[in-house]
Amino acid sequence: MEAADTRFDRLARLGMLVAANAVLAMGPWLVRLADTGPVAAGFWRLTLALPVIAFFAWREPAGKAPLGRIGLLLVAGAGVAFALDLAAWHLGIERTRLGNASLFGNSGSVILIAWSLIAARQSPRMAEIAAVAAALIGAFLLMDGSLQISHENLLGDLFSLLAGVLYAVYLLLLRSVRARLGPWSMLVLVILAGAPILLRVALALGEAVMPGNWAPLLVLAMSSQVVGQGLLIRSLSWFSPLVIGLALLTQPALAALSGYLAFGEGLSAQDMIGMALMGMALALARASEPKVKVPRP
């Protein structure tokens, strides 16, 4: 009986990990459905989710060391970096295929590998070399495929890639403070710092901020920001980085499928090879990371 319970628990945990990635993969589709501007959709994604996340943060155990002034500045900087990351990613979602946006938007892991090697001044391992090489070749194939469609698609790829770079900055800023913050408390502070930035960017771009239909934004906030991140946070303590990385590959695949079904976005053989290489790069990158990670809010 005990063995059956153990197997059931493992299947349930794996199901939570897959469900987290499936929910997060629907985020780009919901951004397209929102009747606000793309950056404004990011603002509402954070703002509408804040009360729920704050409730979970309130329930987190206390007793950790205070952040201090430097720690608060680092978290605030991380919130700004995440806001700009989300703004760039949502602008990319509007301009390129959903599969491309999902892949490039999650490229922060590969960028972190390159940064860590430069900072540590150490020789890369074979997995790290393979991750960077696969990412570069895959990115070239995907961007070339986008350019063949239009310059607008290529611009969307570049916005999404910028989002990946900003996400890496976000992770680096939080590295020294994440041990002193619970995951939900960290997300609250990031949202408080980042949401006003998103609102200012949306207004500066002249976007429509107030929606006529709240449904896509409510689903985006509750699915991507609360359910997706909540399940992912729980899953990170149960699985190795390799398993997390492989599960991550479901996101761009599902995003590409939703782009095809909802918007008729096709993929050529070159695009599929590029996506496979980028996906392999993300899996290798996650396998090379330490087990303690900061999830994308």
Higher pLDDT residue, 191 or 108?
191
Asked if residues 134 and 283 have their Cβ atoms less than 8 Å apart, the reply is no
Which pLDDT value is given to residue 222?
93
Which pLDDT value is given to residue 239?
67
Q: Can you spell out the DSSP letters for the chain? A: -HHHHHHHHHHHHHHHHHHHHHHHHTHHHHHHH-SS-HHHHHHHHHHHHHHHHHHHHHTS---PPP-HHHHHHHHHHHHHHHHHHHHHHHHHHHHS-HHHHHHHHTTHHHHHHHHHHHHHT-PPPHHHHHHHHHHHHHHHHHHHHHHHH-HHHHHHHHHHHHHHHHHHHHHHHHTTTGGGS-HHHHHHHHHHHHHHHHHHHHHHTT---S-S--HHHHHHIIIIIIIIHHHHHHHHTTS-HHHHHHHHTHHHHHHHHHHHHHH-----HHHHHHHHHHHHHHHHHHHHS-S------
Lowest mean per-residue pLDDT among 159-163, 223-227, 268-272: 268-272
Task: Reply yes or no on whether the pLDDT at 256 is more than 80.
Answer: no
Task: State which of 110-124, 224-238, 247-261, 265-279 shows the largest mean pLDDT.
Answer: 224-238
What's the gap between Cα 115 and its chain centre?
A: 18
| Confidence label for 66 from pLDDT (cuts 50, 70 and 90) | confident
Task: Reply yes or no on whether the pLDDT at 106 is more than 80.
Answer: no
Which pLDDT value is given to residue 15?
77
pLDDT tens track for 169-226? 887 887 777 767 777 888 899 999 999 999 999 999 999 999 999 999 999 999 988 8
Task: Reply yes or no on whether the pLDDT at 291 is more than 60.
Answer: no
Which pLDDT value is given to residue 146?
52
Higher pLDDT residue, 9 or 156?
156
Higher pLDDT residue, 263 or 102?
102
What's the gap between Cα 3 and its chain centre?
A: 35
Average pLDDT, the chain: 77
Tokens of 203: 């207004």
Which pLDDT value is given to residue 104?
78
Higher pLDDT residue, 161 or 247?
161
Task: Reply yes or no on whether the pLDDT at 245 is more than 70.
Answer: no
Which pLDDT value is given to residue 148?
56
Q: Per-residue pLDDT averaged across 8-24, rounded?
A: 77
Counting residues of the chain whose pLDDT is more than 90, the rounded percentage is 25
Higher pLDDT residue, 259 or 1?
259
- pTM for the model stands at 0.77
Counting residues of the chain whose pLDDT is more than 70, the rounded percentage is 64
